[in-house]
Amino acid sequence: MATTYDAIIVGTGQAGPSLAARLAGAGMKTAIVERKRFGGTCVNNGCIPTKTLVASARAAHIARRGGEYGVRIDGAIAVDMKKIKERKDAVVRSSNEGVEKWLKGTENLTVYEGHARFQDAHQLRVGNELLEADKIFINVGGRASTPPLRGLDQVSYLNNSTMMDVDFLPEHLIVVGGSYVGLEFAQMYRRFGGEVTIVEMGPRLIQSEDEDVSEAIRTILENEGIKIRLSAECIALEKRGDKVAVGVDCTSGDKIVVGSHVLLAVGRVPNTADLGLENAGIAMDQRGYIQVDDQLRTNVPGIYALGDCNGRGAFTHTSYNDYEIVAANLLDGDQRRVSDRITAYNLYIDPPLGRAGMTETEARKSGRKALIAKRPMTRVGRAVEKAETEGFMKVLVDAGTKEILGASLLGIECDEVIHSILDVMYAKAPYTVIQRAMHIHPTVSELIPTMLGELKPLE
C-alpha cells in the first residue's frame, strides 16, 4: 500500500527544502526524501565548505604578506590543517543540522531518509516504503564526474567530496582540471603551503571566460607559485611508490609531473542514472540531464525538475531561483520563467571573478554594436590602499539600447561589486543610471560609474 501525498520532493539540495516548506505551508500534505546529507552539495561538499577553506587560505596568505603592511610576525607562519578542517566542519555542521531540524520541524511535511526511485509516473519507492503523489519535484543535484583517464584505476585520487576529509597538507597536489572547482582548490592548497600543479587539457584556464580573463587568472596563480600545465591533451596516471605520476603530454616542459595526491576536478554529472526515470517516462538529454520547459516542467504532467539535474544552471542561486519559479507558478499565480534570469556567478579565487551576462567573446559573436570599458585594478584606489591590485574590470554595453550586456570583474571585492551591474541589468535600465549614481568613496564600486564614462566602441 502506498502512502499518498499531495507533493513529494526528491533531494534536499538548494531548491527542495524551501519548496517543501512552501508547499506544506500552503496546506499540501508533503514528503521530502534525502538519501545522504541534508542540504546537498552546497552545504556539505560545495560552496559552504570551500568558501570556509578559502577564508582560512586567505588568512594564511595575508599573514605571510604582513611585512608589506608593516606588520611584523616573529616566527614562521604555520598552518594547522586539523584546525582548518575542524573550523570548516563546524560551519558545515551548523548548516546541515539547520536544514534537517527545519525540515523535521515543519508541519505537514514528512521526511524520509533513503534513496528514492520511481516505480511509475506517480509512485516512488524509498526502502520498504511506497509513496505516491500527483506532483513530484526532482532536486537530486549532481556529483563529480570521473572521466576514463588512462591509469585512473591504478591510483587513488580525490574529488570535491573526498577533499572534505583531508586534514593534512598534501606535499604536492596535482589538480586535474583548470576550471572553477579546480582553481579554488589549487589556490587554497598552495596558500596552505603545499606545492600545487594544475593540469588542464585545454589551451587555457576556464575557457568559457574571455582570453584576457583566463590570462590574468593564470598570472595571479603563477605569481603565488602554482605551476600550470596547459594543453595536456593526453592525461595518464601511474603509481610511483607512494606518489602519483601524471602524464601531461604537453608541448613543452616535462612530460610527467609527480605529485603526492591527485584531485580530479573535471566537471559534474547529474544524479539521474539511478532514479528510475525510465519507469516514469521522464525525458533526459544525452548527458543525463532531465529535460524541462521554461517553468521547469518535465514531459510528464505533474513532474518537475529543479537545480543542477535539469542542466539549466549549475549554482546554488540557480537552483534556489528554480524553487522561486516553481513556487510562483504553482502558488502565487505569477508566471515566472527560467529565461527571465541573467547569467551570474562568481569564481572564488582571491581576488574573485564576478560575472554577469555576456562575455566580450559572446558580445562579439552576437554581431550587435557594442561599447566596452576596461580598467585595471591598479587604477582603483581601494585596491591600491589594500595592496591588492591584481586583475581588471570590464563592462560591455549595447550601443543602441544603452543597456549593459555583461561584465567580468576580476579583482578585490568584485564578488560583491558585480551586483550593482546585475541589478541595473535586471531593471533593464540604461548604463547611464549607474554612470550618474554617486557611489561611496573609497570603494571598488565607486569606479563603476567612472569606468562607464570611458566606454569606447568594441572594435
Ligand X SMILES: Cc1cc2nc3c(=O)[nH]c(=O)nc-3n(C[C@H](O)[C@H](O)[C@H](O)COP(=O)(O)OP(=O)(O)OC[C@H]3O[C@@H](n4cnc5c(N)ncnc54)[C@H](O)[C@@H]3O)c2cc1C
Active-site residues, by number, are: 441
Q: Least Å distance between CB 424 and ligand X?
A: 21
Relative to beta strand 261-264, strand 256-259 is unpaired
Q: Does 321 bind ligand X (CB under 6 A)?
A: no
Q: Least Å distance between CB 161 and ligand X?
A: 8
Residue 424 phi, psi (nearest 5): -70, -35
Return d(Cα 186, Cα 178) in angstroms, integer: 9
Restricted to residues 177-196, the positions that interact with ligand X (CB under 6 A) are 181
Residue 10 phi, psi (nearest 5): -105, 115
Residue 119 phi, psi (nearest 5): -95, -40
Q: Which is closer to ligand X, CB of 160 or CB of 435?
A: 160
Question: Exposed, middle or buried, 342 (CB in 10 Å: 0-12/13-18/19+)?
Answer: middle
Q: Which stretch binds ligand X (CB under 6 A): 208-216, 312-320, 324-332, 358-366?
A: 312-320
CA 134 to chain centre: 32
Q: Does 270 bind ligand X (CB under 6 A)?
A: no
Return d(Cα 94, Cα 38) in angstroms, integer: 11
Q: Does 415 bind ligand X (CB under 6 A)?
A: no
x/- track of binding to ligand X for residues 209-248 (CB under 6 A): ----------------------------------------
Return d(Cα 130, Cα 136) in angstroms, integer: 14
Q: Least Å distance between CB 28 and ligand X?
A: 19
Q: Which is closer to ligand X, CB of 140 or CB of 201?
A: 140
Describe the crossing of helices 47-64 and 180-192 by its angle, rounded to 10 degrees.
40
Q: Does 263 bind ligand X (CB under 6 A)?
A: no
Q: How far apart are the first and last CA of the chain?
A: 68
Q: Does 307 bind ligand X (CB under 6 A)?
A: yes
Q: Does 14 bind ligand X (CB under 6 A)?
A: yes
Q: Does 316 bind ligand X (CB under 6 A)?
A: yes
SS3 439: coil
Name which position in 11, 182, 247, 411 contacts ligand X (CB under 6 A). 11
Q: Least Å distance between CB 276 and ligand X?
A: 8
Describe the crossing of helices 16-25 and 81-104 by its angle, rounded to 10 degrees.
20
User: Which residues contact ligand X by CB under 6 A?
Assistant: 10-15, 33-36, 40-42, 46-47, 50-51, 115-116, 139-142, 160, 181, 271, 275, 307-309, 314-317, 319, 348
